[in-house]
Amino acid sequence: MEQQVTYRGQPVGVVQIEEQAQGMCWSVQCSPVSQMVLRLYGLGAQAEPLRIGVLEPEGNVLTLRRVLSWQTLRDAGYERTRLPDSYVLNDGTPGCLDRVDDHTSKVLTGDVRIDALAASGQVKCVRQDKGWTVYAPFVSGREMPMAFALTACAVRDGQAVLCLPDRDGKPPFQERNRVLE
């Protein structure tokens, strides 16, 4: 698969994306558009920007070849079937890449780990009247993204369900009228 690479909104090159046994391989060729160090990011709607790597000069072009393991992609919120949908270069200067500059993990539940999982798309957080309900896939033989909180979860229909009340002195981890500790 081949996609366009942009820098400050302008097309500057292409990235070839290829599936390999150990992960996904990105091969990039871009015109030299800046004297600054340029880092390639992959952007997806449901995950944090994916830092792929720094381009290096090779003749009259900037190049990069990088393989990211399946685990690295999962940790960043991507999957084999859900890769970034656009690719951009960032030189680190303010305004160069607004989406990366402004893309900070949003605080949902107030729990740093759960908010990071929600930002990466590994869990789903649903606002309730007095707090949040967090849903995570729970499948035998697969890694559980919320393993750190599994003892506080109810398990239903292949989902680990965690109820988090608002942080105003209420009991922790309530589900209906039952307190899970």
pLDDT, one tens digit per residue, over 5-32 is: 998 888 999 999 999 998 999 999 999 8
Report the pLDDT value the prediction gives residue 94, as an integer from 0 to 100. 66
The pTM assigned to this predicted structure is 0.55
Q: Are strands 2-7 and 86-90 parallel, antiparallel or unpaired?
A: parallel
pLDDT, one tens digit per residue, over 68-102 is: 998 888 878 888 888 888 999 988 776 666 544 44
pLDDT, one tens digit per residue, over 92-141 is: 776 666 544 443 345 567 676 787 787 777 888 887 777 788 888 888 88
The Cα–Cα gap between 15 and 13 comes to: 7
The DSSP output letter for 181 is -
Confidence band (pLDDT; 50, 70, 90) for 175? very low
Report the pLDDT value the prediction gives residue 167, as an integer from 0 to 100. 60
**What's the average model confidence in pLDDT over 139-145?**
82
For residue 176, pLDDT beyond 70: no
Q: How many CB atoms lie within 10 A of CB 114?
A: 23
Report the pLDDT value the prediction gives residue 114, as an integer from 0 to 100. 81
**What's the average model confidence in pLDDT over 149-176?**
71
Sequence-separated contacts (24+) of 164-169 with Cβ below 8 Å? 164/109, 164/110, 164/111, 164/114, 164/131, 164/132, 164/133, 164/134, 165/130, 165/131, 166/130, 166/131, 167/110
| Helix/strand/coil for 163 | strand
Instruction: Provide the H-helix boundaries in 35-126.
Output: 70-75, 98-102, 112-119
The Cα–Cα gap between 3 and 5 comes to: 7
